[in-house]
């Protein structure tokens, strides 16, 4: 083992083990790095305190929880997500007509969906998401899988020199580059006033596990606010091109397969993930088949 590998392993996030053992459901890891399937649980029933505590601990440990065969109503979907925190109303996606906390995702046979980019949900908010709860309503027979990425592992396994170079950098996150094409000029003006760009640390600290997490994504992070303060600049291209180079390098970390898990959806499959510590990518390989989803998003904390 060389010095760099040893340093990366020492920086690897600690595993968070649940101390709650009064629940009857099972938790089976899906991959070594991220994800677990939860069995013997019925989400049509409200969570009791022990179930809630055990699921929250499992979420912190595995970062993605998968529940199969959960034929829940939209009201039950909202109630389950709300158990973990207040829910947001998304300003762009269409909403369920009776439950505005649920966004409706997916294209149809004429329009392909466009979630196929590595991202963290609503990182353009001053208080981005703590987690998301996504249910498959209608899935293609083949295709339409989703990837999730452990971004704590992505940070921990960066070369030491890179970790040192990005320490203290701040990323700018913006709603409009990803969603602006869905809007009219007047809508873009209104959304810019309501949701100006926000700044978050490139490396954030998880508020519950204290893990260090690489927190930039190619959907919403547009540039670095303080690159020049942290790096030597001789002439203009040292500033702009070097900034873009390091940001592109950090974006590419999400695409490393060793940090990922891939989920094949079935109707009434639910995925619940920790948005603070993950990115995800919805694979668009199924058009013109349909994939319809509903998502509730739990409001999180200001990243530090």
Q: Among this protein's residues, is 295 annotated catalytic?
A: yes
Count other Cβ atoms within 10 Å, centred on residue 35. Answer: 23
How far does the chain reach from its first CA to its final CA, in angstroms?
A: 33
| Cα distance between residue 197 and residue 231, in whole Å | 23
| Cα distance between residue 119 and residue 278, in whole Å | 8
Q: Catalytic residue among 121, 135, 173, 204, which? A: 121
Q: Among this protein's residues, is 280 annotated catalytic?
A: yes
CB 220 within 8 A of CB 178: yes
Q: How far is CA 90 from CA 173, 175, 252, 300, in A?
A: 16, 11, 27, 14
Q: Catalytic residue among 77, 191, 280, 291, which? A: 280
For residue 211, give the H/E element and its range. Answer: none
Residue 92: exposure state from Cβ atoms within 10 A (0-12, 13-18, ≥19): middle
Q: Among this protein's residues, is 186 annotated catalytic?
A: no
| Cα distance between residue 199 and residue 230, in whole Å | 16
| Cα distance between residue 232 and residue 150, in whole Å | 31
| DSSP sequence for 93-159 | S-B-SS-TTEEEE---SSS-----S-B-TTTTSSS-EEEEEEEEEE--SS---EEEEEHHHHHHTS-
Best CA proximity match to 121, nearest among 157, 162, 173: 173
CB 245 within 8 A of CB 237: no
Q: Catalytic residue among 77, 119, 125, 163, which? A: 119
| Cα distance between residue 18 and residue 39, in whole Å | 16
Q: What residues act catalytically?
A: 119, 121, 280, 295
């Amino acid at each position: 083992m060389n010095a760099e590998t040893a340093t990366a392993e020492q920086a690897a996030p600690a595993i968070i083990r649940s101390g709650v053992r009064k629940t009857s459901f099972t938790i089976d890891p899906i991959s070594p790095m991220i994800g677990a399937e939860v069995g013997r649980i019925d989400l049509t029933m409200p969570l009791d305190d022990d179930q809630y505590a055990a699921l929250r601990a499992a979420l912190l440990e595995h970062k993605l929880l998968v529940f199969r065969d959960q034929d829940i109503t939209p009201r039950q979907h909202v109630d389950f997500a709300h158990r973990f925190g207040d829910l947001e109303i998304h300003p762009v996606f269409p909403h369920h007509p009776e439950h505005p906390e649920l966004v409706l995702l997916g294209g149809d046979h004429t329009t392909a969906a466009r979630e196929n980019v590595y991202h963290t949900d609503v990182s353009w908010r001053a208080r981005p998401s703590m987690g998301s709860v996504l249910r498959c309503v209608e899935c293609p027979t083949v295709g339409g899988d989703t990837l999730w990425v452990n971004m704590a592992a992505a940070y921990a396994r960066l070369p030491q020199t890179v970790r040192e170079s990005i320490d203290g950098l701040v990323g700018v996150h913006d709603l409009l580059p990803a969603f602006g094409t869905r809007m009219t000029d007047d809508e873009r003006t209104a959304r810019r006033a309501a949701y100006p760009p926000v700044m978050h640390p490139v490396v954030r600290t998880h508020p519950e596990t204290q893990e260090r997490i690489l927190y930039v994504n190619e959907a919403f992070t547009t540039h670095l606010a303080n690159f020049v303060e942290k790096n030597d600049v001789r002439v203009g291209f040292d500033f702009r091109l070097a900034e873009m180079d390091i940001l592109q390098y950090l974006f590419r970390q999400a695409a490393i397969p060793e940090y990922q898990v891939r989920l094949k959806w079935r109707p009434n499959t639910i995925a619940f993930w920790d948005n603070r510590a993950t990115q995800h990518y919805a694979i668009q390989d199924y058009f013109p088949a349909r994939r319809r989803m509903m998502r509730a998003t739990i409001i999180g904390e200001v990243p530090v």
